[in-house]
Amino acid sequence: METKAKNKTQLAYEYILSRIENGVYGPGYRVVIDQIARELGLSSIPVREAIRQLEAEGLVEFKPYTGAVVSNINEKEYIETLSVLAVLEGYATALGSAHLTKEAINELERLNEWMERALEELELERFSELNYEFHSLIYAHCGNAYLEEQIKQIWQRMKRIRAYGFTFVPQRAKASIEEHREIIRLLREQAPPHEIEQYVRQHKINTAEAFKRRR
């Protein structure tokens, strides 16, 4: 019985989380317990438990006279996290540059082309997913499992913001595609690792700078 209750709570948790991550429930969105319970065919209890879990993770907050709402972006935390990612991903790309095959580099080109298509069709969630695939394909070749795991954890932490981050700075999405082309060129031409590391680090810092300047 207890396991069944946990499964229902997990179902509700994943349902709400997916909508936060893909931007359906944006910052300030009111999470109505009864409505979600009806959509999932559940009682309100597992939904309430799921929301408490999301509150503990900082994704949902309770406001007086309103109830549960999706938390606003912590801009300081986002920029700080992105800055750390810039350092780690730059290093991982430099390490991976020695191990990337011609086939892997061709796959990077395909992913970047798909990103461009997704942007043209305003599929920003798809764009974000492809962006993650692009970078993860590179650092998967870094040969350092601990470094790879740390980068994955940071991407997971940023996932909610990343889903609609390009909505805040749409011009950054286009620039990102162009910068990916330069990364591909550096990798294909086997540029010095320090040059690759510096460029990829700046690529991430450019995103943070664009986010800060968006106003």
* CB-count exposure of residue 162 (10 Å: 0-12, 13-18, 19+): buried
If you ran DSSP here, which 8-state letter would residue 63 be given? E
Predicted pLDDT of residue 134: 96
Structure tokens at 53: 């879990």
pTM: 0.72
The model's pLDDT over 47-86, given as tens digits with 9 standing for 90+, comes to 999 999 998 877 898 888 888 998 877 778 888 888 999 9
**Does residue 150 come out as left (phi exceeding 0), alpha (psi in the -120 to 50 range) or beta?**
alpha
- Top-confidence residue, 163 or 9: 9
Using the structure block, give the residue that is written with the tokens 């997916």: 18
Q: Cα 45 to chain center, whole Å? A: 30
Tens of pLDDT, residues 117-129: 999 998 877 888 8
pLDDT digits (tens, 9 = 90+) for 199-210: 999 999 998 888
Closest CA to 128 of 153, 79, 156, 165: 165
pLDDT score recorded for residue 158? 77
pLDDT (0 to 100) of residue 172: 84
Query: What is the sign of the dihedral through the CA atoms of 74, 75, 78 and 81?
Result: negative
| pLDDT score of 1 | 44
127: amino acid identity, one letter: F
Q: What percent of the chain stands above pLDDT 70?
A: 90
Rg of the Cα trace of the chain?
19
In Å, what is the CA distance from 80 to each residue of 44, 114, 120, 196? 37, 29, 30, 22
CATH fold of the domain at 1-71: Arc Repressor Mutant, subunit A (1.10.10)
Is the confidence at residue 170, as pLDDT, over 80?
A: no
Q: At what angle do helices 2-21 and 145-168 cross, to 10 degrees?
A: 60
pLDDT value of residue 2 = 46
| 16, pLDDT greater than 70 | yes
Selection from 128, 130, 85, 86 nearest residue 107 by Cα:
130
Question: For position 55, what pLDDT does the model report?
Answer: 87
Chain mean position to CA 179: 18
161 pLDDT band, cuts 50/70/90, is: low
Residue 145: per-residue pLDDT: 95
Domain boundaries, the chain: 1-71, 73-211
Greater pLDDT, 158 or 143: 143
Tokens of 74: 């912590």
1-71 with 73-211: one CATH topology?
no
Model confidence at 166, pLDDT cuts 50, 70, 90, reads low
Domain 73-211 class in CATH = mainly alpha
**Contact yes or no for 123/169 (Cβ under 8 A):** no
